[in-house]
Chains A and B, each alone.
Chain A
Amino acid sequence: MSDTILKVTNVTKRFGGVCALDNVNLELKKGEIHCLVGGNGSGKSTLIKIISGFYKPDGGTVEIDGIRHTQKYSTMDAIAAGVQVIYQDMSVFPNLTVAENIALTINKSENKKLVNWKQVDEVAQQAFDKIGVQMPLHELLEDMSVADKQIVAIARAILYDAKLLIMDEPTTALTRKEIDKLFEIVRNLQAQGVSILFVSHKLDEVFEIATRFTVLRNGQNIITDETSNATREKMTYYISGRTIEGENFQADIREGDTPLFEVKDLCLENGFENISFKVMPGEILGITGLLGSGRTELAMSLFGLYPPTSGQIFIKGKEVKIDSPMAALKNKIAYVPEDRLTEGLFLLQSIQDNISVANIDNMCRKNGSIDEDLVRADAEKWRDRLSIKLGKMEDAIGTLSGGNQQKVVLAKWLETNPDVLILNGPTVGVDIGAKYDLHARIREIVKDRTTAVIVISDDVLEVIQNCNRIIVVKKGRITDELSNEGLDEATLVSVVTSRS
């Protein structure tokens, strides 16, 4: 019996005219934790869907535990073969209890017609025993955290006697503590003989949990290796095809300048405490911290989404009260949000409308009507200045790529001529070329010394390269302030993750 649980050989998949996977190979040994790494559009999601039977490959084979599967390989076959996938959305039912979530699908697959609630509890308990965790069986899933939902999803998957567990970006929404717990469960499963395929783009986790990794780019294999052989530089190169370029941002700070933006002793109940910092002309301030550290709450509070409970905010020396997003806009504070798809963009509306929406009140004539020509001219100005690749201004914004969409969000806020520009995770989900493009634009904004720019991000590299001064936030408080001069990632990472 071979010791390979999964063997994907020369798999190709096309959608229309595009080749999503091109002769891709992947091999997993039994009991291995393997990480599938790649950027957006690398093909990793497609590969997962082929292994799970959701897509049928146009060429190549999928072999699970020695059994080569035919073209007819379906999701039911995959489950029967011992493959379980936990997608990013986890496919759980928020309106049902923990126990029912775990037992429902397996009872369904056994074609049961009636429900025995005692059995449901027993099944759920069994699953929890297997993964070594306990949870209240009768709580509704919607009342629970993302991390708990994930544990429920894993428990459910384990009931199927999974031999291969595939997890798609499982740590995206988890705090450090929750990631630790997750990894412990994963190692527990590994000890029981389950093989695990992790899909992730977060390099730290790759190094922490996986023994081997495979990198895909543009639907092709780039490399498969042991994690012990890899370094961050090499990984970034594998994923993007480029090395880290350019110098760290340096600010031109002049004596005697008044701060463009200042915050004193800002507090938000359940959010953060005693936050104080300044942003001087020409600076880009970075705020970083782990997920759950309070950095997003701070960003949203500065924009009035969760108005601060106490403290003071000063813009160009004048104190302002920000108690709503409308007040923020009035005071020329701009916020580029974390999740552009739900928070930043109106996907089905036109590109032009998306650019002009925040500033539209200033584009009206005396009689109340919008000056269409002015709006159009401004939109085109941003298209050119930010090099946004688009078809027509009237096209729906959903047709643009991630990087271009983010540029539109940026344009929307630059259009308001802000005094303070806060960017939260500005390059999330953006491919590496567009990432550097956006960084260059951000750096340009501070050149005129009239806009305070704050970049909030968990991407340590991004923060070091683009912010001359970095604030570290932990549990809602500022714990450190560093300059980016001579700072390397390892140091910053250790400051951010230290438990002090």
Chain B
Amino acid sequence: MKKLLKRNEFYVSVVIVLLIILIQGKSGQFFTSNNLVDLARSCILPGILTLGITIEIIAHSIDVSFPAIAMITMYSVTEVATSAGYTGPVWILFLAAALMGTVLGSINGVLAAWLKLPTLIITLATSSIYMGIMQGVLKCRVIAVMADPLERLSETYLFVAQNKESGLTSPLPVLFLLLIAVILVVGVMLKYTMLGRSIYAFGGDPVSAQRAGFNTVFIQIFVFAFMGCLAGLGGMTRTVLTGSCQPTTLDGYEMTCIAAAVLGGTRLSGGVGTVKGSLLGVLLMMIVSNNLILLGIPTYWSKFVTGVFIILGIGISSYQALRAQRVLSASVLENAPAEKDAKEAVRK
């Protein structure tokens, strides 16, 4: 039980439940089908990106360039497809974006691994460079009407939920399946593959990981490359979901995703993080930013409230850690009998 209380996931779940109760209580609107669908829809993009950043944070790396990677790949692919009048299968466009994102992400990874430069600084720099290239060299613009396959995809839904009372309809885009796919891939990778475990090992103690024979350079490059891939997919998702290509649409998004990951229990010091936790973090952030209005709170309060939640969420676990440091835990007086005996070796 004590261990349960220590975990962030527990707190986040509690807060989510409380919020839902509050919102449902005040407006009665939370559990309406169209609200739930809207919520699910709003989680698609942050879900994909947050899982990517979670992996990076586990590997003790910070990445603020993924919105830039998302934007530049999104823009490039859409622009090329639109001006060329592309009519082929849409998944090829997604693949192209993923590949381009992987390459851009790998650049971050190489700089981090070979030259051992601090990741915050590197990704700040590449973020700047990629945005500059997109805005300067490529002279990006808003593309309101995109290539046909993309336009069609943005109107393809899994189902449409209708709120019987208000008559509002909310479609659940088929791209929701992409989120599910990413969740499955990441979840399996982290839990059941050596690659995933090596990421945890590296994040826990990079020197030990190296001594154990893990290729730490590869791991570092991989996490950035993988994030790049997800960023590419995320960028395309954004375009499809909004129905047009706006090149600066994800500015500042990195903070949202990092916050979601940390709220979900991902440790900035590395080595700790879960898919479940990060998804809970995303859910919390989305409920806060989307559903505040149901509590009667105007939208311009949402950033403030998000900030409060981030601080509260992170603050609680930080404060616990701080208090633990300030007092002696093991009892010297009895040479810590009770607790230690439980763990003590039993001679065969």
Task: Report the Cα distance A475→B332, complex, angstroms.
Answer: 6
- Give chain B nearest CB distance to A162 CB in angstroms: 15
- Interface residue stretch chosen among A5-13, A266-274, A411-419, A480-488: A266-274
Closest B residue to A132 using CB positions: B348
Q: Does A94 contact B (CB under 8 A)?
A: yes
Contact partner, A105, options B213, B328, B340, Cβ 8 Å: B213
- Residues in chain B near residue A312, CB distance under 8 A: none
Contact with B along A143-179 (1 / 0, CB 8 A): 0110010010000000000000000000000010100
Asked if A133 CB lies within 8 Å of chain B CBs, one says yes
In the complex, chain B residues 163-213 whose Cβ is within 8 Å of any chain A Cβ: 191-198, 200-201, 203-205, 207-209, 211-213
CA distance in complex: A104, B204 (Å): 13
**B267 partner residues in chain A, CB cutoff 8 A:** 95
The reply on B347 being an interface residue by CB < 8 A is yes
A145 surroundings in chain B (CB, below 8 A): 330, 340
CB neighbours (8 Å) of B332 from chain A are: 270-272, 292-294, 297, 475-476
Q: Is B271 an interface residue (CB 8 A)?
A: yes
On whether the beta carbons of B343 and A115 are closer than 8 Å, the reply is no
Q: Does A362 reach chain B (CB closer than 8 Å)?
A: no
Decide: A269 near B328, CB < 8 A? Known: A94-B271, A100-B197, A115-B197.
Answer: yes
* CB proximity of B284 to chain A, nearest CB, Å: 24
Interface residues on B, range: 35 or more
A93-B271, A95-B204, A134-B345 given; A108·B198 CB < 8 A: yes
Q: A231 near B: Cβ within 8 Å?
A: no
* Cβ-defined contact, B192 with A135, below 8 A: no
| Contact indicator B194/A114 (Cβ below 8 Å) | yes
Q: Are A475 and B333 in contact (CB under 8 A)?
A: yes
A114 and B345 in contact, given A96-B200, A269-B327, A475-B332 (Cβ under 8 angstroms): no
Nearest Cβ on chain B to A160's Cβ, whole angstroms: 12
A-contact bits for B68-92, CB 8 A (1 contact / 0 none): 0000000000000000000000000
Q: Which residues of A contact B335 (CB under 8 A)?
A: 175, 177, 292, 475
Q: In this assembly, does B329 line the interface, its C-beta being within 8 Å of a C-beta of chain A?
A: yes
The docked-state distance in angstroms from the alpha carbon of A293 to that of B208 is 31
Least Cβ distance of A100 to chain B in Å? 7
Which chain B residues lie closer than 8 Å to A92 at the CB level?
205, 208
From B272, which residue of chain A is reached at the shortest CB distance? A95
Closest to A294 in B: B332
Check B331 for interface membership: any CB of A closer than 8 A. yes
Q: Contact check, A144 vs B343: say whether CB atoms are below 8 A apart.
A: yes
Q: Shortest distance in angstroms between A35's beta carbon and chain B's nearest beta carbon?
A: 24
**CB-defined contacts of A104 to chain B, threshold 8 Å:** 197, 201, 212
Most buried by A among B204, B272, B333: B333
Whose C-beta in chain B lies nearest to the C-beta of A300? B328
Q: How far is the CB of B177 from chain A (nearest CB, A)?
A: 25
Chain B residue, CB-CB nearest to A156: B212
Which B residues, 304 to 346, have Cβ-Cβ distances below 8 Å to chain A?
326-335, 340, 343, 345-346
Q: Tell me which of B193, B200, B204, B214 contacts A113 (CB under 8 A).
A: B193
The residue in chain B whose Cβ has the minimal distance to the Cβ of A109 is: B213
Residues of A within 8 A of B193 (CB): 113-115
B 252-278 binary contact with A (CB < 8 Å = 1; else 0): 000000000000000100111000000
Complexed CA–CA distance, A86 and B282 (Å)? 42
Interface residue? A258 (CB, 8 A): no
- Residues A113 and B343 in contact, CB atoms below 8 Å apart: no
A181 on interface, CB distance cutoff 8 Å: yes
Cβ–Cβ < 8 Å partners of A497 in chain B: none
Contacting pair A135 B213 (CB below 8 A): no
Q: Give per-residue flags for A83-103: 1 if the beta carbon is below 8 A from chain B beta carbons, else 0.
A: 000000101111110001000
Can you sample 23 A-B contacts with CB below 8 Å? A89-B208, A91-B211, A92-B208, A93-B201, A93-B204, A95-B267, A95-B271, A104-B201, A115-B194, A115-B197, A135-B343, A136-B343, A144-B343, A175-B335, A177-B335, A181-B345, A270-B329, A270-B330, A270-B332, A272-B332, A297-B328, A297-B332, A475-B332
Binding site for A on B (CB under 8 A): 191-198, 200-201, 203-205, 207-209, 211-214, 267, 270-272, 326-335, 340, 343, 345-348
